């Protein structure tokens, strides 16, 4: 997949719809919200992950990891097309104060994968 042909991918239209719905009510597009909007991740699973009841988010995504990687790349290209500004966001465990451990998106904890999930896209100021 390249910048020239990513719009022809099977996931492109679903990503566009999810991003449009998110931007209709807010200014920040998070990959997790896109996956929820596409029906590939349940909000209750996200909440369980945020509270540390699920060890890594990819465990509960309803899609194979190759496709998830493709979705994240298409999202990044679409966000660039919309002139959204990328911003790295740290996810920490919800719960008791003082115990705010970082959350993992992937089983391996690979830095590039973790960064792809944690990269939010925001409307520019103005």
In whole angstroms, give the CA distance from residue 122 to residue 32. Answer: 14
For residues 73-96, average pLDDT: 93
Q: Smallest Cα–Cα separation from 12: which of 61, 58, 72, 62? A: 72
| 36-52 average pLDDT score | 97
Does the pLDDT at position 102 exceed 50?
Answer: yes
pTM confidence score: 0.92
Show the tokens assigned to 87. 């911003």
Residue, of 29 and 100, whose pLDDT is higher: 29
Whether the CB-CB separation of 122 and 85 falls below 8 Å is answered with: yes
Radius of gyration of the chain (CA): 14
Model pLDDT, residue 95: 80
| CA distance between the termini of the chain | 33
In the numeric block, the tokens 């104060």 are attached to 97
pLDDT of 77 strictly over 80:
yes
Full strand arrangement of the beta sheet holding 28-29? 28-29, 119-122, 85-88
- pLDDT at residue number 98: 63
pLDDT digits (tens, 9 = 90+) for 47-71: 999 999 999 999 999 999 999 999 9
Average pLDDT over residues 78-88: 95
Coil, helix or strand at residue 87: strand
At 126 the pLDDT is 42
Mean residue pLDDT of the chain comes to 93
């Amino acid at each position: 997949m390249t910048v020239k042909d990513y719009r022809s991918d099977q996931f492109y239209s679903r990503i566009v719809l999810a991003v449009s719905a998110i931007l209709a009510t807010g200014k920040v597009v998070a990959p997790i919200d896109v996956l929820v909007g596409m029906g590939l991740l349940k909000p209750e699973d996200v909440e369980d992950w945020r509270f540390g009841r699920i060890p890594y988010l990819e465990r509960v995504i309803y899609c194979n990891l190759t496709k998830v990687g493709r979705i994240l790349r298409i999202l990044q290209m679409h966000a660039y097309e919309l002139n959204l500004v990328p911003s790295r966001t740290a996810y920490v465990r919800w719960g008791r104060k003082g115990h705010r451990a970082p959350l993992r998106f992937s089983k391996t904890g690979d830095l590039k994968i973790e960064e792809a999930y944690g990269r939010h896209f925001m409307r520019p100021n103005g």
